[in-house]
Chains A and B, each alone.
Chain A
């Protein structure tokens, strides 16, 4: 029955049915064949969207869009350019470090990659870098979005795994920095090989000036983490406060938003949220069938027959997730696999927060690998580059992220130390 479910699902996907419809459709077919009343499907779908914690998703998206529309990416990149522009290949480094900060405001890799591509590909081209290199750097830098808090995918995972979102957010900070460091190392090597130039001189006065310009934007991630640490608000309330903060910054401080923009931003946010949460809702009857068919137990048995060593299992999971990420859409993988994998992780005493970070890094890496890599599509669409040209510049950066993934997988402390020290 599981096989039938997955085959129907795969067929529906291949012919181009929206993911949510493919999930609900395959579940409906199996439930109908089994003679179970179909109101069960309606019940599951409705239960799937009635959740206060998931309301954090539109509120974080809203906060990110408001900040983005008020021109903070330009301010953040100005600040990071003052910081790292003077290094060899400085402009490319600026894109990476800028995304560390951008990721602290937005929770989506697609939005970050789009913002970075818009700003950097023309700049890098003017400075004499190949266009495909700029595109590759922008796509890679965008992967930091879901790893450094806030993160939409983390909201979904924390909800699925029933763990503290605050702990998961904090756990993402150091792994995100490790990924950024790894990307910058690759860029430094490439800069030597290709003879890229530095970009401007370093001046402390300029750093201070740019820091002041970007201060309000830089404060937002601090506000979010402090909010969690104080334990005064629920995750959803923190997201709401972040949205209110972004609104105040955009309207009153930077004064770059006007009231006329607001309905458009709200509608766009609601639409993006619905696309995510319709998948979450439609997946509930799908996961329900996998559950009653004991898919999680089958996975535990299958993996245990290979090895019960957590380190080996993590390696197996990494390879499986990377392969899945190459052909499947990020959110769909997470929605289907997390409920199936949870019993396995618990039986092997793998920390769910640590696994969450491993999972997310795998998933964003999947967004960067062909054939299904949403970040590649974004930069290709925005620059008009062909996949082959892009891959030629991308592979050293891909290897850099892959090395960071191994490091993050086998050094659990990287994810778990900070939440422990901060008392989550």
Chain B
């Protein structure tokens, strides 16, 4: 079970990396292309802004999941830094539970919202508006997977954050 979870988590993280690199690359190209089309070719890309915002939304939520995998989310760690090990375990357990609950709520109600918007179409692309809401559910679900794996592998005291020294030098 644990091995399966690890494999699943690794695969998800790998997929996220590929998606993020491709999405950000494409976003940059599209933004620059919009300028070129408007000024050099006098033919503005009317659909581009809507698509860009949609893709950006996906990149943010997939990036959020990836940041949980990398344990990069910003945590106020003054107390954690000076707390003894037992207290870090207690606080870590509480904050991991809280994070799990919040992510679960976002997954569930994000999904309901997605379903509600399903019949509506976007103005320019004419696709379902659900496409721009779905990343909330997917991103938070992937985040839960990553938190769970960290919890199993590293314990509650470092499921959400890594020790200060190693985290800050990562910049």
Contact = CB atoms under 8 A, between A and B. Distances in A.
A42 B106 contact: yes
A315 interface: no
Nearest to B25: A266
B24 A266 contact: yes
A382 B169 contact: yes
Given A19-B74, A281-B60, A271 B98 contact: no
A38 B101 CA distance: 13
Interface stretch (A46-54, A143-151, A205-213): A46-54
B59 A21 contact: no
A274 B64 contact: yes
A173 to B, nearest CB: 24
A50 B129 CA distance: 12
Given A114-B171, A275-B73, A279-B74, A269 B24 contact: yes
Interface string A149-179: 0000000000000000000000000000000
B171 A110 contact: yes
A270 B49 contact: no
Nearest to B161: A16
B52 to A, nearest CB: 7
Contacts, number: 202
Interface string A189-218: 000000000000000000000000000000
Given A16-B92, A274-B64, A28 B102 contact: yes
A250 interface: no
Q: Say whether chain B's binding surface is mostly helix, strand, loop, or mixed.
A: helix
B20 interface: yes
A274 B60 contact: yes
B73 A46 contact: no
B46 interface: no
A18 B24 contact: no
A79 interface: no
A22 B60 CA distance: 18
Interface string A23-48: 01100100000000011011101100
A334 interface: no
A267 B35 contact: no
B77 interface: yes
B24 A15 contact: no
Contact of A271 (B56, B63, B74, B105): B63
Contacts of A42: 106, 109-110, 112-113, 133, 136
Interface in A359-395: 371-372, 377-378, 380-382
